[in-house]
Structure 1
Amino acid sequence: MVKPKKPHIESANAAEQIKSLILSQGLHPGDPLPAESELCQTLGISRSSVREALKHLEALDIVQIRRGVGGFVGPLSMSALVETLAFKTILLAGNDLQALREVVAVRRYLDMGLAEQTCKALKGNPQPGLETLVQLMVDKAAAGKTFPEEDFAFHDGMLALLGNDLVRQLVAAFWRVHVAAIPSMAPPSVESLTETAAAHSEMLTAAINGDVEAYLRAVTKHYAPVFSALNLA
């Protein structure tokens, strides 16, 4: 006698089948999904398994359910990743902030890995918007104020010029995790704020000059204060 599949196994399989269906039909974010009854018939699974699978995929932003309307391909954001990383980082904040160190390290790896591409994209192209953000950071640092909004806007603006939306989403995700864990850290000194603001200026200048080596040095300088703070925490 064949044992029936356990509900959670069937719904997990259904989720994979729905993802395969989205890919095979070439659907994109915002496109409607087949109705539940059609999914049951096409995939050969029960309605309860389809509903559980859709709930699971909705939590991952792969599917979006509009009550009374139906299912759609979701925005495919990284909100689930951000929530998990942020919670882990805050939960483990008492463990020498190791989780936050790892997040900051990944951010630095991404910045350094994109150095050549960034310098190529910005070489010879003045960036008044980014220059304004740098000046705001310099002014706030001199006043002993932090500048998380300007910092994020600077990095996001640089990445926007590269045309790589996936990397842009990744950096934004890690940035939000970093910001969520900031309350676990000691307030930065005026000296570290000034050094960080100056590093942004040097990154922008190096990129516009197409100087990859100078850009890498500026990235290292940019992350030095936060790593120092994390190692002393």
Structure 2
Amino acid sequence: MAVNMVEGALPLDMAPANASAVDSVVHQIRELIADAGLKVGDSLPTERELCAQFSASRNTVREAMRILKAYGLVDVRPKVGATITDNRMSRAFELFSFNTMEVSLKTFSDVQAFRALLEVGSVEQIFDRLVDRDIDDLRRINADLSRIHDMAEASQVDFDFHVRLIAILDNAAILDVYKVMKPIILRIMQKGKTRRTFKTETYSEHEEVIDALSARDRLAFQYRLRGHLMKGFKYFNEEMEASS
């Protein structure tokens, strides 16, 4: 997933002929890192050395380093210089954390369909990897819904349940995507719900999914999980009727 973290900056792996001086230096530094085989923790040449190597002004190099730092690829500290890092996923988390997008019916539909693709669509892989510990962990997490005190806590438990479910896949990339989407998923989970909804409906729906896993019933798992993910349509419809 490509996320442009700096307004106006080109993707880091692109430097067309008409690129700005800063974009060109960004691209050249990326090539330098790759060609020299630099790894996380290694130091880049000094600012003076980069200026000479790329025939660029000090301001151009400094701006290029600022962009690379914003992308989470370098860390620049006074008297230490620039070192290679890899905070790209953290930068993406920060971007989504400040996402104030309203949860419309279209947003709900798109996000839940994507979640269904990950969770329901991975049924074969989930059942192939499933062990008793996975079921025990899911029941333990779901039991926490009966002890919730507020909506934020309840939605977090709901999110933890689904993260633990897809963790069965043992796929770090999928988990990273899910975590990036966390803020919007939490808002969807809270849409139209109450504390009682979490303690009764959500809890029961989770238990039905766990029961299907325990019984190794693939069809029941798909049916119950898809129904659970799409349950929120009811709350959107109720809100629309109440406001009309």
- Is the shorter-chain TM-score for this pair beyond 0.5, marking a shared fold? yes
Tell me whether 1:46 sits opposite 2:54 in the alignment. no
| 1:1-55 CA distance string (max 9 Å, x none) | xxxx99x812122223333333444444444333333433444433322221221
Amino acid at match of 1:36: E
Q: How many residues align?
A: 222
- Contact residue 134 and residue 200 of structure 1 kept, 8 A: yes
Q: Decide which of 58, 68, 76 is 1:57's aligned counterpart.
A: 68
| 1:79-138 CA distance string (max 9 Å, x none) | 4434444555x2445xx454454334323322223322222111455543332101112x
Name the SS of the counterpart of 1:65 in structure 2: strand
Between the aligned partners of 1:45 and 1:77, the Cα distance in structure 2 is 26
Q: Decide which of 129, 132, 150 is 1:121's aligned counterpart.
A: 129
* CA RMSD, Structure 1 to Structure 2 (Å): 3.4
Question: Which one has the bigger helix percentage?
Answer: 1
Q: How does 1:215-226 map to 2 (within 5 A)?
A: 215-226=221-232
Name the SS of the counterpart of 1:163 in structure 2: coil
Between the aligned partners of 1:207 and 1:28, the Cα distance in structure 2 is 42
Between the aligned partners of 2:83 and 2:207, the Cα distance in structure 1 is 43
Name the SS of the counterpart of 2:20 in structure 1: helix
1:81 matched to which residue of 2?
92
Between the aligned partners of 2:171 and 2:213, the Cα distance in structure 1 is 17
Q: Structure 1: 5+ residue runs without aligned partners? A: none
Amino acid at match of 2:115: R
- Contact residue 121 and residue 162 of structure 1 kept, 8 A: yes
2:178 matched to which residue of 1?
171
Q: Structure 2: 5+ residue runs without aligned partners? A: 1-16, 240-244
- Contact residue 101 and residue 230 of structure 1 kept, 8 A: no
Amino acid at match of 2:69: E
Between the aligned partners of 2:124 and 2:144, the Cα distance in structure 1 is 26
Amino acid at match of 2:122: L
Q: Following TM superposition, by how much is the alpha carbon of 1:220 offset from its aligned partner in structure 2, in angstroms? A: 0.8
Between the aligned partners of 1:152 and 1:39, the Cα distance in structure 2 is 46
Length-normalised TM-score, structure 1: 0.73
Tell me whether 1:67 sits opposite 2:78 in the alignment. yes
Could you tell which deviates more after superposition, 22-31 or 221-230? 22-31
Length-normalised TM-score, structure 2: 0.71
Q: How does 1:81-230 map to 2 (within 5 A)?
A: 81-85=92-96, 87-88=98-99, 90-93=100-103, 96=104, 98-123=106-131, 125-137=133-145, 139-140=146-147, 147-179=154-186, 185-188=191-194, 190-191=196-197, 194-230=200-236
In 2 relative to 1, CA 103–23 (structure 1 residues): closer, same or farther, beyond 3 Å?
A: farther
Amino acid at match of 1:70: G
